[in-house]
Amino acid sequence: MVQAKSWTLKKHFEGFPTDGNFELKTAELPPLNNGEVLLEALFLSVDPYMRVAAKKLKEGDRMMGEQVARVVESKNSAFPKGTIVTALLGWTSHSISDGNGLTKLPAEWPDKLPLSLALGTVGMPGLTAYFGLLDICGLKGGETVMVSAAAGAVGSVVGQIAKLKGCKVVGTAGSDEKVAYLKKLGFDVAFNYKTVKSLEEALRTASPDGYDCYFDNVGGEFSNAVILQMKTFGRIAICGAISQYNRTGPCSQGPPPEVVIYQQLRMEGFIVTRWQGEVREKALTDLMNWVSEGKIQYHEYITEGFEKMPAAFMGMLKGENLGKTIVKA
């Protein structure tokens, strides 16, 4: 019999998560019924959205999340033994599925690309960057793009797509190591927001004419400073607000309404699951090709060991990662 390990939400978060918020449970899985498969997690994702989404869980529920898994036993002809899939199975080592919600890796997946990229640049974060920049911002060649949390899983892809489309890209990050990485990726300007004397001055120096598009991953006072420097008819894609997720007090005040009105700015929040079907498949193909051709670089921050899921999650929220945070089971 297979013993499945699962991380559950022992106690709802209050402020920054701690080890006490999580509990590791073990359960024996039953034999497969016809039409079912047994899955073993290979790689698991931890992402900022989980900090917010966990509010919807009941205490004792399994933590949510996507994983790359291998079919290790099958009674479903659509998913023979050895098939690699992605699925929203949560923080668990093994699971049983009837096949619903399982997505096979594309048949044309290049051998040279790690399977874990299906959780990163050629997966949900990459798709978030792709649609947020090209659809929500409606990016045009020659524009100036500002990206916050630019060395993360989403931001690093945003900046590289913008460069592919012929734009000037400014990115910010929270360490000198990350700034160096952004310059390696081809960002035109990158700076450490924690060490500049004035964020407003640094933004103005980076692009004296202002910004056409802002891809917002952080929210709060940082984003207010950027919004003040948007060009007329500027577009803002609100992807995340990681600076606010662990707050215990009231939300930060938003940008001055008169700036949004008189600069005629458009701000739109979005969730990547909005895009499905053919458009999603095309986006994945584009991302896969760009990575294969070396037009988009990637970096994975890999933690080994399923038992380290909470530590990887908390480290990601602290900004310890460069690129996509992955746990190798």
Tell me, yes or no, whether 317 lies in a domain.
Answer: yes
Residue 93 sits in a domain whose CATH number is 3.90.180.10
- Whole-angstrom Cα distance, residue 11 to residue 25? 14
Say whether both 230 and 132 belong to one domain. yes
Of 225, 254, 272, the residue at which a domain comes to its end is 272
Residue 106: predicted pLDDT: 86
Instruction: State which H helix or E strand residue 277 sits in.
Output: helix 277-292
Whether the CB-CB separation of 254 and 232 falls below 8 Å is answered with: no
Residues in contact with 52: Cβ distance below 8 Å, sequence separation at least 6, in sequence order: 245
- Whole-angstrom Cα distance, residue 212 to residue 6? 44
Say whether both 188 and 236 belong to one domain. yes
The 3-state DSSP class for residue 248 equals coil
Q: Which among 20, 115, 28 has a CA at the least distance from the CA of 67?
A: 115
Residue 1: predicted pLDDT: 82
Residue 166: predicted pLDDT: 98
Distances (CA, A) of 116 to 29, 103, 157, 202, 259: 25, 14, 16, 35, 42
Say whether both 100 and 8 belong to one domain. yes
Instruction: State the amino acid at position 164 in one-letter form.
Output: L
Residue 254: predicted pLDDT: 85
pLDDT in tens, the chain (329 residues): 899 999 999 999 999 999 999 999 999 999 999 999 999 999 999 999 999 999 999 999 999 999 999 999 999 999 999 999 999 999 999 999 999 999 999 889 999 999 999 999 999 999 999 999 999 999 999 999 999 999 999 999 999 999 999 999 999 999 999 999 999 999 999 999 999 999 999 999 999 999 999 999 999 999 999 999 999 999 999 999 998 988 888 887 888 899 999 999 999 999 999 999 999 999 999 999 999 999 999 999 999 999 999 999 999 999 999 999 999 99
Tell me, yes or no, whether 293 lies in a domain.
Answer: no
Residue 253: predicted pLDDT: 84
- Whole-angstrom Cα distance, residue 156 to residue 129? 9
Tell me, yes or no, whether 12 lies in a domain.
Answer: yes
Instruction: State the amino acid at position 145 in one-letter form.
Output: V
Structure tokens given for 172? 């910010």
Tell me, yes or no, whether 287 lies in a domain.
Answer: no
Distances (CA, A) of 93 to 116, 180, 229, 328, 329: 15, 36, 46, 10, 7
DSSP annotation of 70? E
Instruction: State the amino acid at position 274 in one-letter form.
Output: R
Structure tokens given for 210? 């202002």
- Whole-angstrom Cα distance, residue 325 to residue 329? 13
Say whether both 152 and 264 belong to one domain. yes
Residue 199 sits in a domain whose CATH number is 3.40.50.720
Q: Which among 126, 143, 141 has a CA at the least distance from the CA of 213?
A: 143
- Whole-angstrom Cα distance, residue 280 to residue 274? 9
Largest CA distance in the chain: 65
Say whether both 116 and 193 belong to one domain. no
Tell me, yes or no, whether 291 lies in a domain.
Answer: no
Tokens 């978060």 belong to 13
**Enclosing domain of residue 324:** 2-120+299-328
Q: Which among 276, 223, 218 has a CA at the least distance from the CA of 247?
A: 218
Residue 270: predicted pLDDT: 98
- Whole-angstrom Cα distance, residue 243 to residue 149? 10
Tell me, yes or no, whether 285 lies in a domain.
Answer: no
Q: Which among 319, 318, 328 has a CA at the least distance from the CA of 17?
A: 318
Residue 163: predicted pLDDT: 98
Residue 249: predicted pLDDT: 84
Residue 250: predicted pLDDT: 84
Torsion sign across C-alpha atoms 254, 255, 257, 263: negative
Say whether both 239 and 305 belong to one domain. no
Say whether both 174 and 211 belong to one domain. yes
Q: Which among 166, 224, 216, 174 has a CA at the least distance from the CA of 195?
A: 174
C-alpha angle 179/181/186, rounded to 5°? Answer: 100
Say whether both 33 and 168 belong to one domain. no
| Tally of domains within the chain | 2
* CA 304, chain centre distance (Å): 19
Say whether both 144 and 265 belong to one domain. yes
Tell me, yes or no, whether 282 lies in a domain.
Answer: no
Ramachandran bin of 102, using left for φ above 0, alpha for ψ from -120 to 50, beta for the remaining angles: beta
Tell me, yes or no, whether 253 lies in a domain.
Answer: yes
Structure tokens given for 275? 């895009």
